[in-house]
Amino acid sequence: LNAVGVLSGFGLIVLAITSLISIVLANLVQYQIARRHVPWFGVSRPRKDEVIDCVRLSIWGALNSLGGMLFSAADSVLVGILCGPRAVAIYLTTGALLTFAFGPFQQIMRSGNFGILYLVGNMEWIRVERIRYELMNFAALAITILVSVTLLLNESFVLLWVGPEVY
């Protein structure tokens, strides 16, 4: 259908409509085949206790997200109240630099968790202690480097993103 619409010289609206028709038809055919040949396929009405559990989890998830937003934004709001919007711009710009830099660092630190858990499960405490010591040294070195680079580049980074009149 799409090719017919394009080759006939119709515009994007006809192309969008034919795409929608193709998608709906393909999904209807797949649905009918699945209903006919897969005995357990279908949707059933959830029980009341399943709905209540889902609502509880959704509420906890929403509260967790709200708490995370408040936790991560409370310092910015406080800086804005105490120092004004220009200080918040500098504060958040510097924080963005650190956030971008710490992302790969966190991935590296988390990548060893499964191996450490394997060693803990096998009760190889000496190896766990050695790895923990190495990770702590790596973390101290990486944090020192990241904070030093941030302090060195902070002025040019803030000047670039916020402007010279604010720094």
Phi/psi of residue 162, nearest 5 degrees: -110, -40
Instruction: At 112, list the tokens.
Output: 């060893």
Instruction: At 100, list the tokens.
Output: 């971008």
Spell out the residues 6+ positions from residue 90 whose beta carbon is closer than 8 angstroms to its own. 158, 162, 166, 167
pLDDT reported for residue 89:
80
Q: What is the pLDDT along the chain (167 residues), one digit of tens a residue?
A: 667 766 777 777 777 888 888 899 999 999 999 888 888 887 788 889 989 998 998 999 889 888 888 877 888 888 888 988 888 887 887 777 777 777 888 888 888 888 888 888 888 899 999 998 998 898 899 888 888 887 777 777 666 666 666 55
Instruction: At 89, list the tokens.
Output: 């711009």
User: Which phi-psi region, left, alpha or beta, contains residue 46 (left: φ > 0; alpha: ψ -120 to 50)?
Assistant: beta
pLDDT reported for residue 43:
78
Contact 51, 44 (CB under 8 A): no
pLDDT reported for residue 102:
79
pLDDT reported for residue 35:
86
CA atoms within 13 A on the CB side of 62: 6
What separation in angstroms does the CA of 158 have from each of 41, 108, 148? 57, 27, 15
Specify the pTM: 0.44
How many C-beta neighbours within 10 Å does residue 42 have? 9
pLDDT reported for residue 42:
77
Contact 140, 148 (CB under 8 A): no
pLDDT reported for residue 22:
87
pLDDT reported for residue 73:
81
Instruction: At 53, list the tokens.
Output: 């559990």
